[in-house]
Amino acid sequence: MSARVDVSRSIAPQAAGYDVAAVRAAFPILTRQVHGKPLTYLDSAASAQRPQCVIDAVNDYETRHHANVHRGVHALSQEATDLFEGARDTVRQFLNARSTREIVFVRGTTEAINLVAQSYGRPRLQPGDEILITGLEHHANIVPWQMLREQTGAKLVVAPIDRTGNVSIDAIDARLSDRTRLVAVTHVSNALGTVLPIRDIVRAAHARRVPVLVDGAQAVPHEDVDVQALGCDFYAFSSHKVYGPTGVGVLYGREELLTEMPPWQGGGDMILAVTFDKTTYNSLPYKFEAGTPNISGVVGLAAALRYVEALGRPQIRSHEHQLLDYATQRLLTIPGLTIIGTAPVKAAVISFTIDGIHPHDLGTILDAEGVAIRTGHHCAMPVMDFFELPATARASFGCYSDRSDVDRLLAALAAAQKVFA
């Protein structure tokens, strides 16, 4: 899977019209030093950094508008509610959902998937029914289904990955059966960067009347996600992967499905009326939002999505793709380096190993050079098992990453190889 290329001849120019220096200037953390070296942040797939506008939006909310939402008649509560519900509409527009009733605020992708497992899956699934996932999934899109399997007797069916780290539509199609009740797939693999053909997967599943949940945690920062064009039934993502705060995320669900689903958690805000005999649940999406939400997080998420829209999703994508090509080609010049995950369509994530250096040692040496990469199983242990690896090193990029990051990564890898020579 590794190959040698002549870097000098084949590298495309940087994306024209995309001012990455200006983008970097919007992210204050990037001016930091780590261990006396300039920070080279190549861990955006784990959590992306925040631009100043997100920090300001959260700060402004906390400084001037905070109160609890939905319940108060006083000015601050109404301002907080307006910001919170305005953010819901920003998310709706970003995903091109039909209605804000389809946008549920949750803690993140993990909670969104658990919500669907417990509210959509648990009441419906019978012993022997099947949930189809792929071999590429993050643990967040495996474990909730295993828990559901324990609860219902349903089966987990896994469409395998191939040696490039791809899952073909044929591999998925072949595993759809009369017992499949839900397909739950990642849009972009966090471990390898593989982009899955969601439209084709939805088409194949819908041909059998099977709904599709998409784990969009790694796609929203990189791909142009339009839930109507994708046709999916559920789409989950986390704010912190797309330049927003931690502790907040979104479940998009088609209104017909959300309407039929029972609430997942009970408490304040998700009710219309409560007596000791009976509770009448609130309408969508509040039925799924029990308790006080992460209001400042939601405000920050909306600022992050507006920031991404202002930069331009096609522009970010094209910049990241050129960077991915540049990084791939430069990494392949390193003796003993193997890129894990060479699928034909990839997002800005590169997993790799280097002969004779454990990924954890590599991560530690790179950290001393100010280079932040991720090492380990990336919460995708079945992917590591498939490649018979304990771990990989992973460099991942965001809208602010540039060639100097890649060049510093290369220099740090050379330093690590000297240590282990």
Q: Does 44 bind ligand PLP (CB under 6 A)?
A: no
Give the one residue of 23, 97, 217, 227 binding ligand PLP; rule: CB under 6 A: 217
Asked if 244 and 296 touch (Cβ cutoff 8 Å), the reply is no
254, containing H or E segment: none
Residues written for the chain: 421
Q: Which two tokens stand for residue 412?
A: 């740090």
Site string for ligand PLP, 109-128 (x = CB under 6 A): xx------------------
Q: Does 218 bind ligand PLP (CB under 6 A)?
A: yes
Distance CA 328, CA 313 (A): 22
Q: Which two tokens stand for residue 259?
A: 């309407």
Minimum distance, C-beta of residue 230 to ligand PLP, in the bound complex (Å): 16
Q: Does 186 bind ligand PLP (CB under 6 A)?
A: yes
Query: How many Cβ atoms sit within 10 Å of the Cβ of residue 324?
Result: 22
In the block, residue with structure tokens 């009710």: 271
Restricting to residues 290-349, name those near ligand PLP by CB under 6 A. Answer: none
Q: Which stretch binds ligand PLP (CB under 6 A): 5-13, 103-111, 177-185, 194-202?
A: 103-111
Name the DSSP class of 36. Answer: T
Q: Which stretch binds ligand PLP (CB under 6 A): 24-32, 96-104, 106-114, 156-164?
A: 106-114
Q: Which CB sits closer to ligand PLP, 257 or 379? A: 379
Q: Which two tokens stand for residue 270?
A: 């998700």
379 is catalytic: yes
Q: Which CB sits closer to ligand PLP, 138 or 287? A: 138
The residues with which 249 forms a beta bridge, in sequence order, are 106, 238
Give the one residue of 54, 140, 227, 251 binding ligand PLP; rule: CB under 6 A: 140
Q: Amino acid letter at 68?
A: N
Q: Which CB sits closer to ligand PLP, 110 or 328? A: 110
Q: Which of 4, 40, 11 is nearest to 323 (CA)?
A: 11
Minimum distance, C-beta of residue 261 to ligand PLP, in the bound complex (Å): 20
Distance CA 357, CA 353 (A): 8
Q: Which stretch binds ligand PLP (CB under 6 A): 118-126, 137-145, 271-279, 295-303?
A: 137-145
Q: Which CB sits closer to ligand PLP, 80 or 193? A: 193
Minimum distance, C-beta of residue 139 to ligand PLP, in the bound complex (Å): 8
Q: Which of 18, 336, 15, 378 is nearest to 192 (CA)?
A: 378
Site string for ligand PLP, 63-102 (x = CB under 6 A): ----------------------------------------
Minimum distance, C-beta of residue 388 to ligand PLP, in the bound complex (Å): 22
Minimum distance, C-beta of residue 131 to ligand PLP, in the bound complex (Å): 16
Q: Amino acid letter at 82?
A: D
DSSP string, 379-395: T-HHHHHHTT-S-EEEE
Q: Which CB sits closer to ligand PLP, 220 or 365? A: 220
Site string for ligand PLP, 375-414 (x = CB under 6 A): ----x-----------------------------------
Q: Which CB sits closer to ligand PLP, 44 or 152? A: 44
List, in order, residues 6 or more apart from 211 with CB less than 8 Å away: 120, 182, 183, 205, 233, 234, 254, 257
Q: Does 238 bind ligand PLP (CB under 6 A)?
A: yes
Q: State the number of CA atoms in the 13 A half-sphere of 332 facing the CB.
A: 20
Q: Which of 53, 232, 379, 399 is flagged as catalytic? A: 379
Asked if 329 and 350 touch (Cβ cutoff 8 Å), the reply is no
Give the one residue of 43, 102, 130, 215 binding ligand PLP; rule: CB under 6 A: 215
Q: Which CB sits closer to ligand PLP, 109 or 329? A: 109
Asked if 351 and 201 touch (Cβ cutoff 8 Å), the reply is no
Q: Which CB sits closer to ligand PLP, 211 or 244? A: 244
What's phi and psi for 251, nearest 5 deg?
Answer: -110, 115
Minimum distance, C-beta of residue 378 to ligand PLP, in the bound complex (Å): 7
**Rounded to whole angstroms, what are the CA distances from 382 to 135, 160, 385?**
7, 10, 5
229-243 in b/e form (b: 16+ CB < 10 A) is ebbbbbbbbbbbbbb
Q: Does 223 bind ligand PLP (CB under 6 A)?
A: no
**Which residues of 334-406 form beta strands (DSSP E)?**
337-340, 349-354, 371-372, 374-376, 392-396
Contact positions vs ligand PLP (CB under 6 A) = 108-110, 138, 140-141, 186, 190, 215, 217-218, 238, 379
Query: Which residues are known to be catalytic?
Result: 379
